Structures are given as structure tokens and as C-alpha cells.
Amino acid sequence: MIISVGMALILAAVAALVLAPRLDGVLKAAVERRLGYLYMTEVTVAEVKPAWFRQTLDMRGISILNPPTFRPKPAVTLDHVSVRFDLKSFLTEIPTIHEVFVKGIKVSLRYELGDGTNIGLLAKNAAEREKATSGAPVAEPKGLRRRIAVEKFACDGATIELSTNLLPLASPSVRIRPFTLKGFGEGNPVPAPRMAVLFLRSVMTEALTAKGLLKPVFALLTRELQDLS
């Protein structure tokens, strides 16, 4: 259930785009730019298809790459994301997303000696964006500070795979069963930078429950989580 909150939050970060009457290719680039800005890494999206009349947004093939100090491979991938929103609410103070449904979440958690974990570093990057204290100034994409409410989030399950360069080991993995979360709405709307932090913090929490996790990795993840609190 923890990871469900995070997923609802990160996906809500792109929902502010639905008001823009743009071509699909431009909309796809905007999603990539916003998520890439939040995590300070490359983000690719295979397809973004808005349906204004039905008030839905479909995204396929979302890939959040590792931070630059790690191998240039995906850290998090999502096969399909469907967002059903209230178009009129985007003219109000708190826009509303009725439902987010996600298929095929895969998290590749990597521990590198001396660098920590890829997910922890991405979360740290997002936390720095939230505090607006990260390095050289970067132009912030519009709409990321706006608070958004999510009424329901559903997922068909997720997989977390773990690996490290500490030892030549097999990569253990854990499967998270399908879940649904309701009631994350007007009572607790959150802006995009905080959404990004909560998503990866949730992933790290779920990873700590994985059987076969090496003690050094477990200890490091725990410390990284404490730093994000």
C-alpha cells in the first residue's frame, strides 16, 4: 500500500499538462522534461495519448534512468499508465484526478560501493528540487509547484529487482501484489517535487522487505530513508 501512494503522487505530477491543447509529440516531450527535471536524470516516454472528450490521458513505456554515476540503464519502468481526470477542476485551486491505473511497474534497485543506491540518489535529487537548493540554477518547468488531489490509485502489481557490485551474487526480486488505494484527495494535495520524493521513498521502503537483501545494502537503504524523512 505504501508504494501505491508514491505512484499516485508521481503520476499526478504530469496531470497539469492535460489543459494544454498540444500535439502528442510535444506533450510527450513535456512529460519527459518534467520528470527528468525532478529526478535530475534522463526520462523517456514511448507514447502519450490524451483524450480530451473522455478526460483521460494514456502513457506507455515510461523509463526513469539511473543517475549519471550509475550505469545508463533504467532504474524504474512503467508499461502503461492511464489517468482519468476532472478537466473542470484544473481551473480551480486544487485540480483533481479521479483515478490512476498502472500496469507493469519494474524497479531495478542497484547498490554501488561508494555511491549508495540508484533509487536513493534519485530520491535525494527530488528532495533537493523540493527544497530548491540543488546546485546551479535550472529553469523549472511550469506547473510543478501546483498541488493536485488523487482520489484513487490502482496497480496490477510491481516487481523490485535488486543487485550490487559488492559480491558476485544472483539478483533477488520481490513481487508486489495488485492493490488499490482510495481517499487520497482534497484533504492532502501535494505538489510535484514532493510527489517525486514520496514515490521513490515508497520504493525504498518496499525494497527493505525483500528476502535475501544483503546486510550492507539493508543498512544503507535504512540510512537513505532516514535522510529523506
pLDDT in tens, 132-176: 644 445 566 766 677 788 788 788 878 888 887 766 555 577 777
Residue 7 has a pLDDT of 47
Please say whether the beta carbons of 100 and 80 come within 8 A.
Answer: no
Q: What is the SS3 assignment for 76-114? A: EEEEEEEEEECHHHHHCCCCEEEEEEEEEEEEEEEEECC
Report how far apart, in Å, the C-alpha atoms of 98 and of each of 7, 53, 73, 126, 154 are.
14, 15, 33, 25, 11
What is the rounded CA–CA span in Å between residue 144 and residue 38? 9
Angle in degrees, CA 201, 133, 62, rounded to 5: 45
For the ranges 18-22, 78-82, 209-213, the one whose mean pLDDT is highest = 78-82
**pLDDT tens digits for 36-83?**
888 999 999 999 888 878 888 899 999 999 998 898 999 999 999 998
- Residue range 193-207: average pLDDT? 73
Whole-structure pTM value = 0.78
Q: Is 114 exposed, middle or buried (0-12, 13-18, 19+ CB in 10 A)?
A: exposed
Structural domain boundaries in the chain: 2-228
Asked if residue 5 has pLDDT above 70, the reply is: no
For the ranges 23-27, 183-187, 217-221, the one whose mean pLDDT is highest = 217-221
Which has the higher per-residue pLDDT, 121 or 218?
121
C-alpha atoms less than 13 angstroms from C-alpha of 124 in its C-beta half-sphere: 16
- Beta-sheet pairing, 96-112 with 149-150: parallel
Asked if residue 20 has pLDDT above 70, the reply is: no
